[in-house]
Structure 1
Amino acid sequence: MDLIVTKQGDIWQAACAGKVWRAGVGRSGIGVKRIEGDGISPLGCWPIRRVLFRADKLATAPVSVFPTDAIAMDDGWCDAPAHPDYNRPVKRPFAASHEALWRGDDLYDIVVVLGHNDDPVLPGAGSAVFLHVASPGYGPTEGCATLSRADLLAFLALARPETRLCFRDIG
């Protein structure tokens, strides 16, 4: 039971267990990930590693079979290809390039960490490829997938330990 992200006409969709939700993907669509920062959502199927959430924004942790942890104000994710912590969680302040997981918008209120480029980590092959909350209008991401907050919570409640996120269309 995978979450399959595909394009239907001009709209990105995610489907799982008979449910279909509107989705967002990277600004460069779905394709073969070439380098860090290319804006491509990586073609293929990626296991779900864990779920992170903003405890100050959700009354309770998302219902999920995956390990689930609250995001702290000093949590980040290294996106510097030459750094030994590339594509790994880090604590801020952090000298190398990184993303803050505690954001001012709502996009990282729920973050599903995917097993893309993590075993082994290959420098420059892409970092912080997540499934997270969509921006208004499902605007493009840097290479992640997005669902509305309600749809993301519904998906997590359906997902099983073997569930993967699959980017299927080359956009």
Structure 2
Amino acid sequence: MAFPCALGPAGTVTTKREGDGGTPRGRLALRRLFRRADRGPRPPSGLDTRTIRTTDGWCDAPGHRRYNRLITLPFSASHETLWRDDGLYDLVVELGWNDRPATPGRGSAIFLHAARPGFSPTAGCVAVEPRFLRRLVARLARGAWLDVEPRPRKSKRGR
């Protein structure tokens, strides 16, 4: 199934680097679902599910031993906060990118999450319409994956 989504401003990239604004191209495993318990009922899902805590973060510091992993805040190295006020991470799926093992600088915190209105670019994640995300996670099972591909080019017919 194909669906509209927002990607990083650099589009899909085959050689992902930390901070390049690209979304990694390829087949990405759907590792686990994170959810904000205060933002709605737990959706049904075959993915392992974890409730987001106010102290949850994700390390994006390439030189740190916890790079591209869930961490507990406060955290002294560069990181992303999972407890957000904007609703983008009310439901968030951890995507299997650069995680087994993590290679420093190859990209971190690549998630499937809710898109902003107008589908403005992400920092490198895949973002979909919030209602679609809720329906999608209900259909996901352990072992599922997401294929991230460039947008198909429209063919020019006739001249």
Same fold at TM > 0.5 = yes
Quote the residue 2:141 is aligned against.
160
Match of 1:99 among 80, 86, 102: 80
Cα deviation digits, residues 29-73 of structure 1 (max 9, x gap): 011233101010001001111000111111x11211011111000
In 2, Cα distance between the equivalents of 1:161 and 1:74?
Answer: 26
Match of 1:118 in 2: 99
What is the one-letter code of the residue matched to 2:22? I
Number of the residue aligned with 1:12: none
State the match for 2:108 in structure 1.
127
Unpaired runs of 5+ in structure 1?
1-15
Provide the residue aligned with 2:36 in structure 1.
54
Distance 1:113 1:95 in 2: 22
* Residue in structure 2 matched with residue 26 of structure 1 by the alignment: 8
Flag the structure with higher strand content.
Answer: 1
Identity of aligned residues (%): 43
Partner of 2:20: 38
- C-alpha separation in 1, matches of 2:74 and 2:17: 25
Task: Report the structure number with the largest CA radius of gyration.
Answer: 2
How far apart in 2 are the matches of 1:27 and 1:102?
23
Are the counterparts in 1 of residues 46 and 139 from structure 2 also a CA contact under 8 Å? no
Partner of 1:8: none
Tell me which moved more, 26-35 or 43-52: 26-35
Report the secondary structure of 2:8's partner residue: coil
Q: Residues of 1 paired with 2:100 and 2:151: CA distance? A: 24
Extract structure 1 runs of 4+ deviating beyond 4 A.
none
Q: CA deviation at 1:170?
A: 7.1
Superposition TM-score, scaled by structure 1 size: 0.85
Name the amino acid aligned to 1:76: G
TM-score, length of structure 2 as denominator length? 0.91
Report the more deviating stretch, 146-155 or 89-98: 146-155
Which string of whole-angstrom CA distances, capped at 9 and with x for unpartnered residues, describes residues 62-98 of structure 1?
2110111110001000000000000000010000000
Q: Which residue number in structure 1 is paired with residue 131 of structure 2?
A: 150
Distance 1:134 1:167 in 2: 16
Over the aligned positions, Cα root-mean-square deviation in angstroms equals 1.4
